[in-house]
Structure 1
């Protein structure tokens, strides 16, 4: 610990916040900086290097946008932790931080889920008509998601704020006794619809996608390349859910239960608080992982990304040619007679038309 104060006894009804280890602040800053650079560059590629957007590209852009909006909270959170869990910036900036964190966190979950559904529809439901294949519908869907996120962010902004705990001004802390009922209600009202359901939908979609991709004929160079890229995309998406989002939801749920029903268990509460900040480190890593999905999910983004790197002087050899498959539009593809060729056709279409 960075100069920790002696924790109160377990019989105390009031836990004085402890300073967190400096490594938590360092890791948060590094991850936020990495996420800011990667997502800023991705947004630049989307806006200036990709003139035509398909449904998948549109969803990926909004995912990058939801990752980028959390950037202003990084220096505030770093200062808060460096000052020993003391918030010197006033109530308004605390409320703004909470609203931005909430919008980013649940925005990433929802847009990742929509990307999973779109990928499933494009590959597994290749021959069936679906609104998820229409850009106009995707724009309306994204607008609805942002409306929900703004409403939730506004609710958090109005319901939560700062409070004094001993000599510390707290913001979004487990020690804020007057807000514990609000934290408890928000956490468990969102746990199922805003995390467990999207996570289950994503797992189901990617399981079906993995099954479909497994039937691709790996004896050809195209088949091997598409199979490898699709597997990486499945792995990255499920990794983001399991490593970045799940720990934060679990630790936060445990924390509000301990604070609400066992407030006298101070040592346990302090350990849960440390685990909460560690889970925020994992959650912050999703901003660095998400750009990998853009490369695995869209050949157009990959090509634009490479052209952009060349413009700033970074040159490298392109991978092997895919015999013109990148330019094929999904509408014009003909179903092959063999099952493996059909799956390859589907995956090629979804990759090139995102």
Structure 2
């Protein structure tokens, strides 16, 4: 990867090294971005339809899962703008408001997904490990109010981010939320480390703690009963899916962005490295879009009510699948613990 065509004169070389003009990104980034978010939209739209139209009585888990699906779906309307930005030589032509709206919605999408994934982890941990104790996270009224407060917080944060990071012109290219915005270097540096700690390290640590304790707890569940085996299997699947989502979708994006803002602040003359980091960041950004496609697995493996509603939905549209047949073949011979089942299903 190069930094553009170099002049032969020393003065031109020196001048060029002082700046690092944006470079066009491969069209495959735009293609994969659209594919991932379109598939995510279909999966999450169907999931929200199941939650709203097929599940008549929500528990705390369903409330959290619905909000996770909503946070995944809201990014889709802005996907064409982001894809067009990649396809048009990384040149933002849609104006200041569209850029600030993009930043705000991206913030709400990513931060919301992280928060609700973490809350699902906490809820699963409390429900299984401390099933016989009273907790606010088990009260549906509290969880609804908590989700409403989280959405207000996410919207405020999104507006602040959009206001702090406006469009700038770099080398005759409009730049929106990129490493090339030189006059925003300090803002990106500070904001990045706030995001990296509060929206990556802290949630990941909480989830790892919850699921490590959960794994230890479910290992002691009586698996002689079919219900005990079912709870254990669902919980272990939840562990694998959530940790995998954090590791694949959010951790690489935050690590590459952190490296990028450090290089931009302290080694801005390293143009080749800057452009490589920019491409790596966009690749991680597209990879993060897989989150929208993976989250619906949490609803399927983590909620008995969702599975039952899913089965009814298949019957409504006249679809018979191997998944449904497998679910119908399962029988429950004994009861594990009514409190555990009613809380985590």
- Same-fold call, TM > 0.5? yes
Alignment partner for residue 191 of structure 2, among 186, 189, 195? Answer: 186
Deviation for aligned residue 1:163: 1.2
Aligned position for 2:332: 323
Query: For 2:88 and 2:251, how far apart are their aligned partners in 1?
Result: 28
Deviation for aligned residue 1:348: 3.1
Deviation for aligned residue 1:261: 1.1
Aligned position for 1:218: 223
Secondary structure of the structure 2 residue equivalent to 1:129:
coil
- Structure 1 window deviating more from structure 2 (300-309 vs 223-232): it is 223-232
Deviations 1:64-94 (A, max 9, x none): 1111111112101100001110111111111
Secondary structure of the structure 2 residue equivalent to 1:111:
helix
Query: For 1:6 and 1:312, how far apart are their aligned partners in 2?
Result: 56
The structure-2 alpha-carbon separation of the partners of 1:7 and 1:239, relative to structure 1 and needing over 3 Å to count, comes to farther
Aligned position for 1:77: 82
Deviation for aligned residue 1:5: 7.1
Q: Is the 8 A contact 1:7 1:15 kept in 2?
A: no
Deviation for aligned residue 1:228: 2.2
Aligned position for 2:9: none
Task: Determine whether 1:229 maps to 2:222.
Answer: no
Q: TM-score when scaled to structure 1?
A: 0.89
Q: Is the 8 A contact 2:22 2:173 kept in 1?
A: yes
The structure-2 alpha-carbon separation of the partners of 1:221 and 1:162, relative to structure 1 and needing over 3 Å to count, comes to same
Aligned position for 1:20: 25
Counterpart mapping for 1:70-109 below 5 A: 70-109=75-114
Deviation for aligned residue 1:281: 1.5
Unaligned runs of 5+ in 1: 329-340
Q: Is the 8 A contact 2:29 2:282 kept in 1?
A: yes
Query: For 1:42 and 1:170, how far apart are their aligned partners in 2?
Result: 35
The structure-2 alpha-carbon separation of the partners of 1:22 and 1:42, relative to structure 1 and needing over 3 Å to count, comes to same
Query: For 1:72 and 1:161, how far apart are their aligned partners in 2?
Result: 20
Deviation for aligned residue 1:48: 1.0
Alignment partner for residue 41 of structure 2, among 17, 36, 43? Answer: 36
Query: For 2:310 and 2:120, how far apart are their aligned partners in 1?
Result: 19
Aligned position for 1:284: 289
Q: TM-score when scaled to structure 2?
A: 0.91
Aligned position for 2:52: 47
Alignment partner for residue 343 of structure 2, among 347, 350, 353? Answer: 350
Query: For 2:161 and 2:37, how far apart are their aligned partners in 1?
Result: 22
Aligned position for 1:334: none
Q: Is the 8 A contact 1:226 1:347 kept in 2?
A: no
Deviations 1:81-108 (A, max 9, x none): 0111011111111110010001100100
Query: For 1:309 and 1:89, how far apart are their aligned partners in 2?
Result: 42
Query: For 1:7 and 1:153, how far apart are their aligned partners in 2?
Result: 38
Unaligned runs of 5+ in 2: 7-12
Deviations 1:128-162 (A, max 9, x none): 11011100110111112112111110101211121
Task: Determine whether 1:261 maps to 2:266.
Answer: yes
Secondary structure of the structure 1 residue equivalent to 2:76:
coil
